[in-house]
A and B are shown apart, each in its own frame.
Chain A
Amino acid sequence: MSDPADLTIAAAGRALRAGDVTARDLLEAVRRRASMTESQLHNYLTLDAAGAEETAETADAAFAAGEDRGPLQGIPIAVKDNMVTRGLETTCSSRILAGYEPPYDATAVARLRRCGAVLVGKTNLDEFAMGSSTENSAYGPTRNPWNPDRVPGGSSGGSAGAVAVGSALGALGSDTGGSIRQPASLCGIVGMKPTYGLVSRFGLIAFASSLDQIGPIARTVDDAVTLFEAIAGHDPADATSYRGEVPEIRPTLDAGIDGLRVGVIEELSGEGIDPEVAEACAAMVDRLEGAGATVEHLSLPSCEHALSAYYLIAPAECSANLARFDGVRYGPRLAGDTVEQMMAATRRDGFGPEVTRRILLGTYALSAGYYEAFYGQAQRVRTMVIRDFEAAYERVDVLVSPTSPSTAFPIGDRTADPLSMYLSDLCTIPSNLLGQPGISVPIGLDADGLPIGLQVLAPALGEAVLFRAAKAVESLAGFDHRPALASSEGAA
């Protein structure tokens, strides 16, 4: 049998139940993979050695006793370090939370634990999830497993990288403007952002509350569904949590693309998109058509304004969300003669430049005299984007576009120019403004051997058709490449 670190969640689940492998074996396999790759890639900030061993043993004992809590029992999963974990350091990749040990578990984490999943550790991210490259981490950047000179995307770069290289079988990420889908695309795996409200945000350290959503990162669409099913569902601790039934995915998951109406977003097909990426996506659309989909090219003119609206709404919300980091109740503190000075010094020292920039931007956009022109107008543009997409979904079942305008870019390439970095989120941002689900599926490699992802979008609560279309894309793409580092030879 191959290295258990390379198994899908589904295959690992079968192996566990067949007695071919133990949860302990799986954990050791992903840890071995981590020990071979971490120095180069830096996917993890914290490994929970003792906690993971204990849950793996509990899982093995459960299997032995014939107890089964479902497909995640005994499966090693990584969690982005912006979800709080009781007693396990949670920093959001920020100095301002160095050493912080939360007294409670995020709901999504608690649900994973209840399913018997083994929490391997906490993964690196752009500080407070602000970034598209995982370079903005106070604890050093994460590198792309396909080419360590490149970024893994972000902000869930550590989670995406860990799943791609096999130091976890699946992971949780969070997506505020594309932070699950874009790194999944750049790392050649599957990443999905659910409908806003389907997964509780309780315990997710907020970046932009009306846009943030936790979602699964996995190597296959099927595995992503498994993780999604584990974490989705109403949570009374989150007032924005959806109170209805979670859409059922499995009955239609394998129904194929035949009969579905697929819309191609014109605005995200040409200008601003790397030609190689655009061609790969167009080729996939042709194959979808060949497989029975009805394809329509649609114009969604508000798309180009979505980015501007996003870069006002997200910083505005973040400026308030990050106000609580003040050196009073947790985290490190810098000295000051007065509490005001102490806070100002602590915050200057504790936040990196991108976070500081967004806090200042948001503070300005909300301040007296500017609110209507910036934040208010951005919320109106949000309505325009919603109307555009509503009209589109009257004609098609799903929309497609590239996930990222380019494949993985070199480390350091965009750090000096915030605007060019922001453009990395061009294709993913609309669905955050809309609160609608989206998924990235790998469809091929570019000339440099870097993965290309296709994004599939669906209306709110349209997870069933989203996963169905994504699975069809996955089978048509037949993407079975793995980064060279994802093997003992490659890492050696």
Chain B
Amino acid sequence: MSHEAVIGIETHVELRTRSKMFCGCPVDFGAEPNTNICPVCLGLPGALPVPNEQAIEWTVSLGLALGCAIAPESLFHRKNYFYADLPKNYQISQYDLPLCVNGHLEVETDEGTSRIGITRVHLEEDTGKSTHLGESGRIHAAEAALLDFNRSGIPLMEVVSEPDLRTPEEARAYGMELRAIVLALGVSDAKLEEGSLRFDANVSLRPEGSDELGVKVEVKNMNSLRSLQRALAFEIERQRGILEGGGEVAQETRHWDEEAGLTESGRSKEESSDYRYFPEPDLVPIVIDSERRDELAARLPELPSARRSRYRELGLDAEAARLVAEGDDLAAVFEAALSGGADPQAAANWLTGEVTAHLRRSGTAMAETGLSGDHLAELVAMVEADELSATAAKQVLAGVLEGEGSPRRVAEDRDLMQIADEGALVAAVDTALGEHPDERARLAGGDQKLVGFFVGRVMQATGGKADPKRVSELIRERA
């Protein structure tokens, strides 16, 4: 009997508001320990929470982007559990009246497109951070733990998917698409490695074709999209092995160990959770009427899927459309280059090729480079007008990225403009032919392979500034 996997994903997104969810402490990820704290986020006696309106609007915006229904009346609840990094020993979260419900997300993989249901999007507060002291750095055998409450109270959105995902690839694509939407809305840094975007997955296996759900295992601690996919692949195989061996999967929480490439059973709480949710009496209901909802909907930016379709219509292939639409800041430069009259495919090629490689190599963000949309349009135009050879264009781009100025300026400063003077080209070709009489004879005898040889010689002699097409024509004419 073959099994299929049933996967649901819970995503936590830390919002990039200026201040925390329920107090005015700054949201600043690099601050010294325990400096962004106040009576509210430290759970001091007598302190009271007041919700950040921006965080609520952003959550509604994400809900709208995911096609959710926005609750006309929503409530915060207290979720009660004792944990040393949770200052009040309850988390202000949402329970049966979340801000957004019943949405969906279209996910594309090589297998095609699937529509993944979104159960809910709600808003809560983050916890503080604990670090265990001791050799292993892990909880086991630690002698003490240190607590930093800077993160405590940072707004945290939770997006819960339906168990509609079937493969690790689909789960990864879901994570990628959700991240792209969050970035497009500009509500979070959405950095997995820094924890501002976190995925937990629920995985169970069931016989192919069955409607029933198997025993669910929660997998945590994946800090990249790749590890989300790897962890799920491992976990599915692990469960398949147990089931095919006639065993039973235990309901538990497992932690992904990136280095070992496996999931490990976590130390679960001794008590099965009983969170004793009840309406947060320090807060009043949130009412979002249809007017407010429509206003927020109208303010939504173009979403990644719409942007990709638009780019496809401009002639970009699927991969380029995705890369430009979602790559860090590429889309803004791309759009500006189009406004400057650039050919879409050419502009996209530069962005997904040389520009992306440069950003990766140098570890800089687009904004830190000297490249603008106008620059890119100019570069594309210069290549089209045969003012720059391909080789020279790459060097010009490098100069632009380094902040040396516009492409024309860089080309002139670095003396990279293509030789437009026919006489000079002819002279260069004749010189090359004259220097290699044997090769010239073989070319004249019909050995076409030697065209390339002479083009190389001419390009070398002109410092790459000759137009290789014209050069090869001249070689054939004059050999």
Contacts and interface: CB of A to CB of B under 8 A. Distances in A.
In the complex, is A directly touching B at CB under 8 Å?
yes
Interface of A: 83-84, 90, 92, 97, 100, 102-104, 106, 201-206, 208-210, 236-240, 316-317, 319-320, 323-326, 328-330, 339-340, 343, 363, 366-368, 371, 375
Which of A90, A100, A319, A324 has the most chain B CB atoms inside 10 A of its CB? A324
B449 interface: no
Given A323-B82, A323-B88, A104 B45 contact: no
A320 B80 contact: yes
A202 B47 CA distance: 6
Contacts of A371: 276-278
A98 B176 CA distance: 51
Interface of B: 39, 42-51, 78, 80, 82, 84, 87-90, 145, 147, 274, 276-278, 281-284
Contacts of A325: 45
B283 A340 contact: no
Contacts of B277: 366, 371
Contacts of B78: 320
B364 to A, nearest CB: 41
Nearest to A339: B84
Nearest to A343: B82
A320 B46 contact: no
A202 to B, nearest CB: 5
B386 to A, nearest CB: 66
Nearest to B144: A339
A191 to B, nearest CB: 21
A330 B43 CA distance: 10
Nearest to B49: A239
A206 B78 CA distance: 15
Contact of A103 (B44, B147, B278, B281): B44
B448 to A, nearest CB: 79
Contacts of A206: 46, 282
A92 B276 contact: no
The CB with the most chain A CB atoms within 10 A, among B45, B51, B90, B282, is that of B45
Contacts of B39: 102-104
B282 A366 contact: no
Contacts of B80: 319-320, 323, 366
Contacts of B274: 367-368
A324 B278 contact: no
B84 A328 contact: yes
Nearest to A327: B84
B89 A209 contact: no
B45 A102 contact: yes
Nearest to B22: A239
B45 A97 contact: yes
B50 A236 contact: yes
Given A236-B50, A237-B50, 18 more contacts: A84-B44, A84-B45, A102-B45, A103-B44, A106-B46, A202-B46, A209-B281, A210-B281, A237-B48, A239-B284, A320-B80, A320-B88, A323-B82, A323-B88, A324-B87, A326-B89, A339-B145, A363-B276
A272 B418 CA distance: 105
B290 to A, nearest CB: 23
A343 B87 CA distance: 13
A317 B281 contact: yes
Contacts of B282: 206, 209, 239-240
A449 to B, nearest CB: 38
Contacts of A104: 39, 44
Nearest to B269: A340
B277 to A, nearest CB: 8
Contact of B43 (A92, A317, A324): A324
Contacts of A340: 82
A239 B50 CA distance: 5
Nearest to A344: B82
- The secondary structure that dominates the B interface is loop
Contacts of A317: 278, 281
> Which of A100, A210, A323 is most buried by chain B, counting CB atoms within 10 A of its CB?
A323
B403 to A, nearest CB: 46
Contacts of B51: 239
Contact of A238 (B48, B90, B276): B48
A100 B50 contact: no
B46 A203 contact: yes
A271 to B, nearest CB: 32
Nearest to A201: B48
Contacts of A100: 45
The 10 A-B pairs of least Cβ separation, nearest first, read A323-B89, A366-B276, A209-B281, A210-B281, A203-B46, A205-B45, A324-B43, A84-B46, A339-B84, A324-B88
A323 B89 CA distance: 6
Contacts of B88: 320, 323-324
A237 B277 CA distance: 24
A83 B46 contact: yes
A240 B281 CA distance: 8
B87 A320 contact: no
A488 to B, nearest CB: 37
Nearest to A128: B45
Contacts of A208: 281
Contacts of B82: 323, 326, 340, 343
Contacts of A83: 46
Given A201-B48, A320-B278, A323-B90, A329 B283 contact: no
Contacts of B47: 202-203
Contacts of A204: 46
Contacts of A240: 48, 281-284
A208 to B, nearest CB: 8
27 contacts: A83-B46, A92-B45, A100-B45, A106-B46, A202-B46, A203-B47, A208-B281, A210-B281, A239-B49, A239-B282, A239-B283, A317-B278, A320-B78, A320-B88, A320-B276, A320-B278, A323-B80, A323-B82, A323-B89, A329-B44, A330-B45, A339-B145, A343-B82, A366-B277, A367-B274, A368-B276, A371-B276
Contact of A329 (B87, B145, B281, B284): B87
A388 B49 CA distance: 32
Contacts of B284: 239-240
A343 B89 CA distance: 11
Nearest to B42: A329
Contacts of B283: 239-240
A236 B297 CA distance: 28
B105 to A, nearest CB: 32
Given A240-B282, A339-B145, A102 B50 contact: no
A23 to B, nearest CB: 28
**Which of A90, A100, A206: most chain B Cβ within 10 A?**
A206
A369 to B, nearest CB: 9
Contacts of A329: 42-44, 87
Contacts of A202: 46-48
A358 to B, nearest CB: 15
B363 to A, nearest CB: 38
A315 to B, nearest CB: 12
A198 to B, nearest CB: 15
Nearest to B149: A329
A375 B78 CA distance: 14
Contacts of A210: 281
Contact of A326 (B46, B48, B84): B84
Contacts of B42: 329
Nearest to B84: A339
A280 to B, nearest CB: 36
A102 B44 contact: yes
Which of A205, A236, A366 has the largest count of B CB atoms less than 10 A from its CB?
Answer: A366
Given A240-B282, A326-B82, A320 B44 contact: no
B89 A324 contact: yes
A467 B49 CA distance: 32
Nearest to A328: B84
Nearest to B81: A323
A253 to B, nearest CB: 31
A203 B281 CA distance: 15
A318 to B, nearest CB: 11
A102 B51 CA distance: 23
